[in-house]
Structure 1
Amino acid sequence: MPTRRTFLAASAAAAFASSKLAADESSAAKANQICVFTKPFNSLTFDELATQTANIGFNGIEAPIRPGGHIEPEAVPDKLPQLVAALEKQNQKLTVLTSNINDPSDPLSEAVLRTAAKLGIRYYRMQYFKYDESKSITKQIDEWRMKMKDLAALNKQLGITAVYQNHAGRNYFGAPIWDLHRGLDGIDPTQVGVAYDIRHATVEAGMSWPIGFHLIRPHIQVVYVKDFTWGEARPTNVPLGDGRVDSKFFRMLARTDFRGPVSLHEEYIDHRKPELVPEHWEAIRKDLKTLKSWL
């Protein structure tokens, strides 16, 4: 017959197991969703795209909805609901909408965003700003800040978040990170935030990329992942884990409160050739395995 002591011990063990399960479920709920940038797959139907991303193990896609992408901006009101419906049938989401939007006064841009917001799409990637080296750098940043403030006001009204990707290159606003930090000063990150690209950050900052990461961290809404090596004149994209991107970044990221999506970009196979679609899927499958091991 059980004694009071064994009963209390059993009750304590059960309570511990229950609390551990709740903690595990809470951690799982907070896990970063992983999506894939689907630029190489314009030749596929929406159903084919959704089925394949689900089969590989993604939670959703980052879809180019811009000139030359899956859907032309003018066709968004008719076709974007079709893409979202195809994804939902496979328990997938359109996690990030990649756009050519950075002007809130453009009526077509507003129509795209209104449609996206009604469909429950939370994030869209902005188009880049590029420096004119013959003009004041700081004045250009200040001008772009005002434009992003106007865009933030529209996003707040619609309930959607713009993300600006830091992109490596001589004249890209956001490449050095500090300028992006300055440009976003005073703007709510849930209205205009950052898609932090660790590949581009490493290209631009070399060994000092952690400083830029910590600087821009409060603005980060989405994380982009891809890899590169240095060629003779420029960086070359390579499979994840074969290049210069440091897996320690993900341990650093895990120590923050970041709970946004992570988007995998495979850009080392020519995306313009439909006959290479099977190679893209196989490469993405391998990159996803590496990414999950790092996360």
Structure 2
Amino acid sequence: MSKPINTFSRRDFAKLSTLGIAALPFLGFQNAFDPINSATENDLKVHLFSKHLQFLNYRDMSEAAANMGFDGLDLTVRRKGHVLPEQVKDDLPKAVEAMKAYGLQPQLMSTNVWDVNDDKNKVVLETASQLGFTHYRTDWLTYPENQSIQESQAHYAKQAKALEQLNEELGLIGGYQNHSGKHVGAAVWDLLPILEATKGEFLGCQYDIRHAVVEGAGSWELGLQRIKPFINTIVIKDFKWGLTDGKWTLINVPLGEGMVDFKRYFSILKKYKINVPVSLHLEYDLGGAEKGHSTLTISKEEVFKNMTNDLQFLKEVWKQAE
């Protein structure tokens, strides 16, 4: 089997880019932020997954994201997140205040929310709604071993319908992320019996191309075609397969260095007229920032440089895709 080829590589991007990328984190807020916001309505709105900035407080996190040119933050409001669910009433307003101080409007957040009968989940959504958030990622689901997959899907479909009703009341849109492995939705197709129980307006899919390619190296386009009516946000990251201690394993890499064919992917999104909020994830080695650590083994300037590189690559390939 031949190795998938990324038709637009990071090396190609390096030749195209004439930006002083490494210097961006040190520019003033106005200089770094304005060029990104001069985009047309057809450009992507890219939010940085705040997990990778959990070594910073709310204000420094917001300043860094703005200086790098991000349109916003995908704020972690979950266990071990930037905002803990049990402290959401006190801390989420503080995070939003810091974001707005640097021109970042609240829009995306990643949560552990699924069951509407959990009072903590309700408080998270109610607080986020009051503060202006519009989209959030739900919790992941698994298939219990003591019941069939079909039974589990029927149960989750009822929960999805109830969650969508709450979302509609609060003016929020939830997205379930397809995640490789044994999670519900890893195969994408198995999300349909769950999501089709909803209207598809206030609950849908946060589509993750990295995980889709992991699970469907040659068939991910079919899964995308089937799930596209439910896509309301997307996640961007890259990977490749490699040998580690004699075993094949997933290796996370910067955008353009892995197996995701971003130019093809973006071309399909444009064909389907899918332009939704984007969450950029960086899961390759960033001295602990990739795992949400509060202390790093590399300088924050090096972390910012990698984040800016991925952001600029993403925006350039989006422009090149037809």
The verdict on a shared fold, with TM-score over 0.5 as the criterion, is: yes
Corresponding position of 2:218: 207
Q: How does 1:111-190 map to 2 (within 5 A)?
A: 111-169=123-181, 171-190=182-201
Whether 1:44 and 2:28 are equivalent positions in the alignment is no
Cα distance in 2 for residues equivalent to 1:294 and 1:181: 30
Shift of 1:89: 1.3
SS class of match (1:263): strand
Corresponding position of 2:33: none
Aligned pair partner of 2:306 in 264, 283, 289: 283
Q: Percent identity?
A: 35
Cα distance in 2 for residues equivalent to 1:215 and 1:134: 29
Cα distance in 2 for residues equivalent to 1:56 and 1:41: 12
Corresponding position of 1:261: 277
Whether 1:33 and 2:45 are equivalent positions in the alignment is yes
Corresponding position of 1:252: 268
Residue type of the alignment partner of 1:261: P
TM-score between the two structures when normalised by the length of structure 1: 0.87
Structure 1, unaligned stretches of length 5 or more?
1-26
Shift of 1:139: 1.0
Which shifted more, 223-232 or 272-281?
A: 272-281
TM-score between the two structures when normalised by the length of structure 2: 0.80
Q: Does the aligned pair in 2 maintain the 1:131–1:173 contact within 8 Å? A: yes
Q: How does 1:228-247 map to 2 (within 5 A)?
A: 228-232=239-243, 233-247=248-262
Cα distance in 1 for residues equivalent to 2:198 and 2:107: 22
Cα distance in 1 for residues equivalent to 2:111 and 2:197: 24
Shift of 1:256: 1.9
* Structure 1 segments (4+ residues) deviating >4 Å: none
Q: Does the aligned pair in 2 maintain the 1:189–1:221 contact within 8 Å? A: no
Which shifted more, 75-84 or 268-277?
A: 268-277
Question: Which has the greater radius of gyration?
Answer: 1
SS class of match (2:218): helix
Residue type of the alignment partner of 2:207: Y
Structure 2, unaligned stretches of length 5 or more?
1-38
Structure with more relative contact order (C-alpha pairs < 8 Å, separation 6 or more): 2
